[in-house]
Amino acid sequence: MEFQREFPRQFTISAVSASPTILISTALAAEAGPLVRHFRLKSVTDSRLKCWRDDRLCVLQTGIGSLNASTRLGAALSWLCPEPSSLSPVCVNLGVAGCDQPLGSLFVASKVTDNASTQSWYPQLTFNPTAPEMQVRTLSRPSRQYRQDTAFDMEASGFMNAALHFTSLEFTQCYKVISDNPGSPPDTLDESLITELIGDNVGRFDDELQQLVELSDQRPDSVGIEALEQRLYRSHRFSPSNRSNLRRLLWRHRNRLGTLPEVETLERLSSVREILQLIERSASQPGPDR
Amino acid sequence: MQTIYLESRIAEHPRTAEILSRFPTSRQIKIDRYNEVFNPKNQNFRLQKTNPALILAAKQQGHVLQAPLEYNIGGRNNYYFSHMINCVYDCRYCFLQGMFSSANYIIFVNYEDFFSAIDQTAARHTEPAWFFSGYDCDSLAYEPVTGFAAACLAHFSQRPDQWLELRTKSTQIRSLLQTEPVPNCVVAFSLSPDATARRLEHGAPGLNKRIDALEKLQQAGWKIGLRLDPLIYTADFASGYREFLQDLFSRIDASRLHSVSLGTFRMPAGFFRQVIRLYPDESLFTDNIEDRPDKQTGYPIDMERSLMEQATDLLLEHIDQKQLFPCV
């Protein structure tokens, strides 16, 4: 249970800070290291997940391969985001890949394809990245095939698969640093070179993250309302239509009065109908001119 | 336009080349089918609207669809077609934001397939058929890029038994003014009082500019229509609409107006549930709104009736009952 102490359930987007949680998924320690140093993160001790964090950002080391990326990212996100939220986290995969491009080049994925299943994902580039785009194909084992228009990696498809259960396509991005090409095949690759290649790009990567965070900040702050909704869903059974009504009334309450009704009072009511009526009455009271 | 997705099958289409030439610095991403990018559920329409991508594709089926019953301006055979999905404007009341998970624009470049389907549909009727083009997009707003209206008018001008409605908030009317009016085409403008337009119709030309465009088209001999849909409740609804209509009808000739349609703000309840997730902070969606027995979310029935009656009375001070088509 050590992990729970390090990642208490309160470690949600709302509890951490006003900024959204950013989760960076890497496969190798050599990829995570430069990020941990750049962002000055502290290690989280746990036998199941390797990660480093501060209030705003978490770097996860998943191990090699699509399956590791998928399962460990899924586990980490389940802890970070225990409740569904409209303020979903920013999830980014950063790792090395092979491509017929200069070593050390940084690319953002415009398309991720799983080589085995041929399933594809298109991360939405709404945040307007400055890094050039590249399609990424995820293989199950290292390869010596190189193309100019495709980077080959081993994790991106697993990352996409897991991250999209928790966040949207605007906040699910893959960045690849070219680590091997026809002139430098993978057997010349070692941990120190990977660390160097990632380290050389970490500043630029940070700038890209800022763009993503700026986009994410444009979402309405619904944290208080969603927390209240979750409390009421636990005590009462709301139909989809009543969930919609509840949200509408809570926002009306907040838009008009600047506050939300007391959750304890609402929880004590015996029916959903009574809850909705009480919020409606409360929201109709004269309040400050907003 | 920073990102353009294009289906491989239309990569060599001349219209694709023409559109791409307008965006020389855009990143281009090849895709197999547009729905791979457009349809995935976990997308944020609101955020995408801040920087939409363009998707160039070919429409394979369903080029022409039956229009909803209330979507008519006097014809009995009503259809709609969409060469484009999504709108360059960002009107807060728009149902598209609840209907689609993506705010990216799709342009279907195979216009000729739409025209063939329109011919086939019209051939099934002995009476004239109506074809509405502004259902899933604004008919004219992207005209400098698509050239669709010009192509469409070339088709309809040769087929007097096929009627076309171009529905718009745009002032992109240059191509219309440069050609002879097409007698079986109605250019219909969506209008709201100025204060409502300023508050809710983000990115759309102001009311005054739209009325200028209406005036010019009417003077040039085009049939024009007015679409007061949605009517939006405000505390000064009656006085606001009275003033707006007085101004409007002082500038256009009501007797030569083809049609006026009106309806209150409403949308299917399923769409509304999406929209309130995107814009919970918008009072349009939180105040005086309810789920109704007709599976629409909108103003309460009594309120809707009152708004329709007030707007109808105000309109009938200027137009004939025969010109009026309530959307209820």
- Radius of gyration over every alpha carbon of chain B, rounded to an integer in angstroms: 20
Instruction: Say what the pLDDT of residue A288 is.
Output: 54
Closest to B291 (Cβ–Cβ): which among A169, A170, A245?
A: A245
Q: What is the pLDDT of residues A56-66, one digit of tens each?
A: 899 999 999 99
Chain B residue at shortest CA distance from A161: B42
More confident residue, A10 or B308: B308
Which residues in chain B touch residue A225, judged by CB atoms under 8 angstroms apart? Answer: 280
Which residues in chain B touch residue A127, judged by CB atoms under 8 angstroms apart? Answer: 51
Examine the pLDDT at A222 and tell me if it is beyond 80: no
Query: Is A167 an 8 Å CB contact of chain B?
Result: yes
Tokens representing B178 are 């440069």
For chain A, what is the HEC assignment? CHHHHHCCCCCCHHHHCCCCCEEEEECCHHHHHHHHHHHCCEEECCCCCEEEECCCEEEEECCCCHHHHHHHHHHHHHHHCCCCCCCCCEEEEEEEEECCCCCCCEEEEEEEEECCCCCEECCCCCCCCCCCEEEEEECCCCCCCCCCCEEEECCHHHHHHHHCCCCCHHHEEEEEEEEEECCECHHHCCHHHHHHHHHHHHHHHHHHHHHHHHHHCCCCCCHHHHHHHHHHHHHCCCCHHHHHHHHHHHHHHHHHHCCCCCHHHHHHCCCHHHHHHHHHHHHHCCCCCC
Examine the pLDDT at B25 and tell me if it is beyond 50: yes
Which residues in chain A touch residue B279, judged by CB atoms under 8 angstroms apart? Answer: 220
What number is the average pLDDT over the span A232-250? 91
- The length of chain B in residues reads 328
Instruction: Note the pTM of the prediction, 2 decimals.
Output: 0.90
Instruction: Say what the pLDDT of residue B65 is.
Output: 96
Which residues in chain B touch residue A125, judged by CB atoms under 8 angstroms apart? Answer: 2-3, 27, 53
Q: Which among A198, A194, A268, A258 has a CA at the least distance from the CA of A224? A: A258
Instruction: Say what the pLDDT of residue A11 is.
Output: 34
Interface probe for A, chosen from B47, B104, B284 (most Cβ of A below 10 Å), is: B47
CA of B239 vs chain A CAs: smallest distance (Å): 23
Tokens representing B45 are 């329409």
Interface contact flag, A240 B273, Cβ < 8 Å = yes
- Radius of gyration over every alpha carbon of chain A, rounded to an integer in angstroms: 22
Which residues in chain B touch residue A160, judged by CB atoms under 8 angstroms apart? Answer: none
Closest to B48 (Cβ–Cβ): which among A122, A124, A251?
A: A124
Residue found by looking up tokens 């785009």 in the block: A133
Which residues in chain A touch residue B280, judged by CB atoms under 8 angstroms apart? Answer: 220, 222, 225, 247-248, 251
Instruction: Say what the pLDDT of residue A117 is.
Output: 96
DSSP letters spanning B264-309: ESEEEHHHHHHHHHH-TT-GGGTSS-EE-TTSEEES-HHHHHHHHH
Interface contact flag, A126 B51, Cβ < 8 Å = yes
CB B170 within 8 A of CB B140: yes
CB B264 within 8 A of CB B230: yes
Chain A residue at shortest CA distance from B48: A126
Q: What is the pLDDT of residues A207-220, one digit of tens each?
A: 999 999 999 988 88
Phi, psi of B44 (to 5 degrees): -110, 105
Chain B residue at shortest CA distance from A166: B42
Q: What is the pLDDT of residues A99-152, one digit of tens each?
A: 999 999 999 999 999 999 999 999 999 999 999 999 999 999 988 889 999 999
Element (H, E) at B223: strand B223-231
CA of A47 vs chain B CAs: smallest distance (Å): 32
What is the Cα–Cα distance from B326 to B324, expressed in whole angstroms? 6
Interface contact flag, A215 B47, Cβ < 8 Å = yes
What is the Cα–Cα distance from B150 to B137, expressed in whole angstroms? 16
Residues belonging to chain B with any Cβ–Cβ distance to chain A shorter than 8 Å? 2-3, 5, 27, 29, 31, 36-37, 40, 42-44, 46-48, 50-51, 53, 269, 272-273, 276-277, 279-281, 283, 285-287, 289, 291, 297
Residue B230: asked if its preceding bond is cis (omega within 30°), the reply is yes
Tokens representing B146 are 């698509």
Q: What SS3 class is residue B249?
A: helix
Q: What is the pLDDT of residues A138-197, one digit of tens each?
A: 999 988 889 999 999 999 999 999 999 999 999 999 999 999 999 998 888 899 999 999
What is the Cα–Cα distance from B231 to B265, expressed in whole angstroms? 6
Interface probe for A, chosen from B41, B43, B286, B295 (most Cβ of A below 10 Å), is: B286
Q: How far is CA A281 from CA A241, A284, B75, in A?
A: 19, 5, 46
What is the Cα–Cα distance from B246 to B238, expressed in whole angstroms? 12
CA of A142 vs chain B CAs: smallest distance (Å): 26
Closest to A168 (Cβ–Cβ): which among B44, B285, B291?
A: B44
Which residues in chain B touch residue A128, judged by CB atoms under 8 angstroms apart? Answer: 2, 51
Q: What is the pLDDT of residues A11-48, one digit of tens each?
A: 333 333 333 489 999 999 999 999 999 999 999 877 67
Q: What is the pLDDT of residues B201-257, one digit of tens each?
A: 999 999 999 999 999 999 999 999 999 999 999 999 999 999 999 999 999 999 999
Phi/psi class of residue A104: alpha, beta or left (left: φ > 0; alpha: ψ in -120 to 50)?
A: left
Tokens representing B66 are 């039956």
What is the Cα–Cα distance from B226 to B246, expressed in whole angstroms? 14
What is the Cα–Cα distance from B261 to B71, expressed in whole angstroms? 9
Instruction: Say what the pLDDT of residue A287 is.
Output: 61
Mean of all residue pLDDT scores within chain A: 88
Q: How far is CA A264 from CA A106, A227, A267, A268, A273, in A?
A: 51, 13, 5, 6, 16
Which residues in chain B touch residue A282, judged by CB atoms under 8 angstroms apart? Answer: none
> How big is the A-B interface in CB pairs under 8 Å?
91
In chain B, what is the straight-line distance between the N-terminal and C-terminal CA atoms, in Å?
38
Q: Which among B264, B303, B311 has a CA at the least distance from the CA of B319? A: B311
Examine the pLDDT at A283 and tell me if it is beyond 50: yes
Q: Which among A89, A77, A102, A83 has a CA at the least distance from the CA of A158? A: A77
CB B288 within 8 A of CB B299: yes
Q: What is the largest CA-CA distance in chain A?
A: 73
Instruction: Say what the pLDDT of residue A285 is.
Output: 77
Interface contact flag, A170 B36, Cβ < 8 Å = no
Interface contact flag, A252 B283, Cβ < 8 Å = yes
CA angle A31, A36, A39 (to 5 degrees): 125
CB A150 within 8 A of CB A111: no
Chain A residue at shortest CA distance from B281: A251
Q: Which among B312, B226, B304, B310 has a CA at the least distance from the CA of B265? A: B304
What is the Cα–Cα distance from B311 to B288, expressed in whole angstroms? 18
Interface contact flag, B42 A240, Cβ < 8 Å = no
What is the Cα–Cα distance from B173 to B180, expressed in whole angstroms? 13
Query: Is A14 an 8 Å CB contact of chain B?
Result: no
DSSP-based helix, strand, coil % in chain B, nearest 5? 35, 20, 40
Instruction: Say what the pLDDT of residue A20 is.
Output: 40
Eight-class DSSP state of B91: E
What is the Cα–Cα distance from B310 to B305, expressed in whole angstroms? 9
Which residues in chain B touch residue A133, judged by CB atoms under 8 angstroms apart? Answer: 27, 29
Interface contact flag, A244 B42, Cβ < 8 Å = no
